[in-house]
Amino acid sequence: MIARRSILLRLPKDKCDVDYIKRLMALTNLGYRNFEVLVPDLPKNIQYQLYGLKNYKNSLVFGTSPKRWFAEAWIPLVTLRVYTKDFKKGNTTAPVVLDFRNNIIKLHQVCRSEPGSVVKIPLPSWVIERVKEGGDIKFAMIGLKDGEPYLALVAERVVESYQPSDYMLVIDVNAWNNGIAWGLIRDNMLIKWKPERPQLSEIEGLYNLSVRLSKKYGKLRRLGLDKSEEGKRLRREIRRIRRKLYAKLRDYTQKLVHRLVRKALRHKVLVIIDNMSEESRRGLLEEKIPSGLKKLYLMYTRRFVKLLITQLKWYGVPYRFERLLSSICPVCEHELTQEEGRIMVCENCGFKVPRDMVPMYWVIKEVNLGDREETEQ
């Protein structure tokens, strides 16, 4: 199985020509639609790539096929990897060169149109780590995100899943405000359980501040004062706060995934993921949280699952999705009642655990049931 991972790197705006990248993106879009537009002033190696790589569009991490006409399509590019003076991989005319000797990435005429122009950026440690793990970076993409130029690198690696040990890692995903809970199971016993969630007060604080400032900015705009010193200052401040908010959520997501994947590898577990249910999505919508914040929580929950899967695949960790119940008693299958503080109680048999721990017991029960069925056959 080929596993892929990708990273986005912001390119120096002052060294790139945004209009040129826009033009390349438009040509890429045409390429995806089987229109070959040969532009005389475009280097041949880039031109041919636009058409030659279109077959990869669905397999590249960032290369989802554009859904409509003139949708922004990132430019797919092949790379040359230079490890030592004599050891190179890839096409020698590739416009993206990863130079491991000097730890730089050289971009030939894909950020600016002047012939022979080269933009150099430092090689991120992410690349070195992926290569150490046996990955190779055959493809890159260039494009604009919110008007800023970016380079996306795609690492790929052939990987086989390992045979799981007698450990299981169950990950119960809720919307981000209730976080996730994980449980480590060994020999049908829950040996460790932990709920995880981001610092909500900090996130809510930043969100509320950005809303308050946006309202103030809106007032200025209605008065035609948005271009004033005050208006400009306010706008910069809003952007800064939003960036901080997204960075906090992103950081938390990445660190949590990293920790869970390490844990999975350490014990050679089988991972069972209970993705956010329709029920918890509805639950979130009913809560008294501003709608913008709800959207953010849902978005980062989805990102968490996506990132988790990408990394589990990359490291060959076997996993599967399972719908696990949290409102039915895993002992007697009686309906559970929710008490204060998300505690679930069974009025029939007295089973009582935190809500996010119930799914762990269902996994154990199912494993036991499976064992019994096997012996009976």
Contact set with Zn ion (CB under 5 A): 329, 331-332, 334, 346, 348-349, 351
CA 369 to chain centre: 35
- DSSP-derived secondary structure letter, 38: -
- Give the nearer residue to Zn ion in terms of CB position, either 124 or 354: 354
Q: Cβ 367 to Zn ion, closest distance in Å?
A: 18
> What is the b/e burial string over 243-267, where b = at least 16 CB atoms within 10 angstroms of the residue's CB?
eebeebbeebbeebbeebbebbeeb
Q: Cβ 330 to Zn ion, closest distance in Å?
A: 8
**Which residues, at least 6 apart from 331, have a Cβ–Cβ distance to it below 8 Å?**
346, 349, 351, 361, 365
- Give the nearer residue to Zn ion in terms of CB position, either 154 or 358: 358
Q: Cβ 194 to Zn ion, closest distance in Å?
A: 24
- Give the nearer residue to Zn ion in terms of CB position, either 7 or 345: 345
Report the alpha-carbon distance of residue 273 to residue 188 in Å, rounded: 17
Q: Cβ 347 to Zn ion, closest distance in Å?
A: 8
Report the alpha-carbon distance of residue 138 to residue 158 in Å, rounded: 13
Report the alpha-carbon distance of residue 311 to residue 13 in Å, rounded: 30
Q: Cβ 376 to Zn ion, closest distance in Å?
A: 24
Report the alpha-carbon distance of residue 28 to residue 37 in Å, rounded: 10
Report the alpha-carbon distance of residue 109 to residue 92 in Å, rounded: 15
- Give the nearer residue to Zn ion in terms of CB position, either 284 or 363: 363
**Cα angle value 154/159/165 (rounded, 5°):** 130
Q: Cβ 187 to Zn ion, closest distance in Å?
A: 23
- Give the nearer residue to Zn ion in terms of CB position, either 165 or 348: 348
- Give the nearer residue to Zn ion in terms of CB position, either 216 or 365: 365
